[in-house]
Chain A
Amino acid sequence: MEAGRTKRQPTGIPGLDELLIGGTVPGASIMVEGLPGSGKSTMAMQIMYAGIERGEPGIYVTLDESGERIYRDAQSYGWDFRKLENENKLRVIPTSPEGLVGQVQNGGPLIEAAREIGARLVVVDSVTMLETLTTGPAEFRQFYSGLVRGLEAADLRVLMVRDMEPQTGGIAADFWSRYTPDVLVDLEMETVHFRLSRRSMEVVKTRGQDHIGGKHAFRITDNGMVVFPRIMPPPSEEVRYPTPHVPSGIPGLDEMLHGGFILEQPVLVSGPTGSGKTLLSLYFLAECAKRGEPALLFTTEETPAATIAHAASIGLDLRPLIDEGLLDIEYIVQTELSIDELLFRLRSRLASKPYRRLAIDSVNSIARMSPDASFTHDAIMFLMGLLRSEELTSIMTYEMRAVAGPFEVTRLKLSPFADTILVTRLIEINGEVRKGVTVLKHRGGPHATEIRELIISEQGLRVLGGFEGYQRVATSFPETDEGYQPDL
């Protein structure tokens, strides 16, 4: 924070303070609104609890739920509200709309209770109940403002919870909520693929400060709410020249690359199912781990056990590397996550250990989690920026739709971001499906241009020579050169 700028007040909710660039301006009134079940009360209780932990007692006013239910709900996240009351750090106060308004206007035991414990924050859950005291939105806006001023006059910072109703189009009659609080947060819950719920939060407005806009995924865990802000790509750094190379770990491939992959630059391996992409990335990680440098497989495709078995089938024993902590496998069940959360988990994992290599298997999962193509593209851009900033050499796999024949490297427009692109192919020769690999791009350095055969066997993975005697190998259905007699 620059000198002279007001120090921000954190909410205590992981990720939300990032959206608020450190927190709220001291004394800012906050409103959190959303449909029933969207997490509003959880958010309010969590902010209350975090404030108390920082030494700021509070008052939780509940206008429609009993205190018993508030205690129970808070306890489910490990927040012992009864204990905090016994310690005079909190008061849970059930009251009615008339009871609240009367006490704010005329003074009364609520303001007394706040002073008794030195309360700094008051939560009102929910202000929707106060609408019963007014005749329409305009009157309620004045009413609400008066209530906030009254509470602020008692030296209380205000957090209001508001129930929204489903919109049926047009500007909502309750648009007043956009004007009144200093900070407005909207919570949403949507159904994805007819069965999964995804939660998102948007800081709609702040007054006197900046914030990160747009929707960001969040989750309600056993310990409360966690927000996953969209990862912002850090400034890109210049690539050093000459660019050092790192070995791929696959015999024959480094020769195609004239030394190996480019240090700390992303590699894309694109190919159809069964063409060797995952095994190629495992060799790449094992090469690093065997030299004592930690490597991470971030996968949405196979469980750790399946990955270990898959590698073992070709003689690659990952178990000792895992046991020594040199190779970690993070398996993500993709149907449960949003892109924001996926990228957040990746970033957190990368921060936990000084990994030198990373494999992401596969980036197709990012597209599957994304609501639309532009969102996917932005997520990929953020991912690339993250990978470059982490100073590790990374490999991403992409599964092509086309098993054979004409192909598109990716449908995600990833190609510009990868410094090296390998394409794996399935090639039919005399009724046998063989595998090939080619270097389509290798920025900053020469590379082989032909398709070479990729052998996957119990003896491991290796790259041999080209498909001598054949033309049009890239089509997956090559033809023999004239006069060529294939060795059957």
Chain B
Amino acid sequence: MHDKCRDVVEALKQSPIKADIVRFFKENPHAMDVLPGLAIWVFRPKDVLASEIDDLVSLGILSRYGAEPGAVYAFTKDMGVRACIDEHWQEIRQAARGLQSTQTEREG
């Protein structure tokens, strides 16, 4: 696995929220929206989403158009990154789900 791909996979495995955002864009590859809109699509609070999205932009998974407030986010056009995510998606989902369950138990 290339370094960049490893970074992407690890970041997603460690964050259920990032995994959810990426899942939305995998299912809707041409979706493009502002932060409040994405919060509704992935059903997460806006303030929680903001930092996760920043990370995803830094990792090159999402592209940002314009600046906040009002920046629009879309899935990367880098097919290498997309291919990396596709290849490791099962392990990303499993890890993220596991992490989500642990967090839920703790909160319960």
Residue numbers of A with Cβ under 8 A of B are 66-68, 85, 91-99, 102-103, 106, 108-110, 113
A92 and B30 contact, CB distance less than 8 A: yes
A68 and B27 contact, CB distance less than 8 A: yes
- The verdict on A108 contacting B72 (CB below 8 Å), with A94-B33, A96-B37, A102-B34 known, is yes
Question: Given A85-B29, A95-B32, 4 other A-B contacts at CB below 8 A?
Answer: A68-B28, A99-B33, A108-B66, A109-B72
B50 CB → nearest A CB, Å: 15
Considering the chains assembled together, what is the distance between the CA atoms of A106 and B30 in angstroms? 19
A109 and B74 contact, CB distance less than 8 A: yes
B36 and A113 contact, CB distance less than 8 A: no
In this complex, what residue of B is CB-closest to A113? Answer: B30
Q: Which of B28, B29, B37 contacts A99 (CB 8 A)?
A: B37
Considering the chains assembled together, what is the distance between the CA atoms of A97 and B40 in angstroms? 11
Considering the chains assembled together, what is the distance between the CA atoms of A129 and B37 in angstroms? 12
A102 and B40 contact, CB distance less than 8 A: no
Q: Which residues of A contact B36 (CB under 8 A)?
A: 96, 98
B27 and A95 contact, CB distance less than 8 A: no
A66 and B30 contact, CB distance less than 8 A: no
Question: Beta-carbon contacts of B3-22 to A below 8 Å, as 1s and 0s?
Answer: 00000000000000000000
Q: Which residues of A contact B33 (CB under 8 A)?
A: 94-96, 99
Considering the chains assembled together, what is the distance between the CA atoms of A94 and B72 in angstroms? 12
Q: Which residues of chain B (26-53) have a CB below 8 Å from chain A?
A: 27-34, 36-38, 40-41
B74 and A98 contact, CB distance less than 8 A: no
In this complex, what residue of A is CB-closest to B63? Answer: A109
Residue numbers of B with Cβ under 8 A of A are 27-34, 36-38, 40-41, 63, 65-66, 70, 72, 74
B31 and A94 contact, CB distance less than 8 A: yes
Q: Which of B32, B40, B41, B66 contacts A106 (CB 8 A)?
A: B66
Considering the chains assembled together, what is the distance between the CA atoms of A113 and B34 in angstroms? 16
B34 and A99 contact, CB distance less than 8 A: yes
Q: Which residues of B contact A108 (CB under 8 A)?
A: 32, 65-66, 72
A99 and B72 contact, CB distance less than 8 A: yes
- The verdict on A93 contacting B32 (CB below 8 Å), with A102-B72, A109-B65, A109-B72 known, is yes
B32 and A98 contact, CB distance less than 8 A: no
B67 CB → nearest A CB, Å: 11
Q: Which of B32, B63, B70 contacts A110 (CB 8 A)?
A: B32
Q: Which of B41, B63, B66, B70 contacts A94 (CB 8 A)?
A: B41
A93 and B30 contact, CB distance less than 8 A: yes
B72 and A103 contact, CB distance less than 8 A: yes
Considering the chains assembled together, what is the distance between the CA atoms of A68 and B41 in angstroms? 12
Considering the chains assembled together, what is the distance between the CA atoms of A2 and B48 in angstroms? 62
A67 and B37 contact, CB distance less than 8 A: no
B71 CB → nearest A CB, Å: 9
B70 and A102 contact, CB distance less than 8 A: yes
B72 and A91 contact, CB distance less than 8 A: no
Greatest chain B CB density within 10 A among A91, A93, A94, A106 is at A94
Q: Which residues of A contact B65 (CB under 8 A)?
A: 108-109
A67 and B30 contact, CB distance less than 8 A: yes
Q: Which residues of A contact B29 (CB under 8 A)?
A: 67, 85
Considering the chains assembled together, what is the distance between the CA atoms of A85 and B75 in angstroms? 15
Q: Which residues of B contact A113 (CB under 8 A)?
A: 30, 32
A102 CB → nearest B CB, Å: 5
Question: Would you mind naming 14 contact pairs between A and B with Cβ atoms under 8 Å apart?
Answer: A66-B28, A91-B30, A93-B30, A93-B32, A94-B41, A95-B33, A96-B33, A96-B34, A96-B41, A98-B34, A99-B33, A99-B72, A103-B32, A110-B32
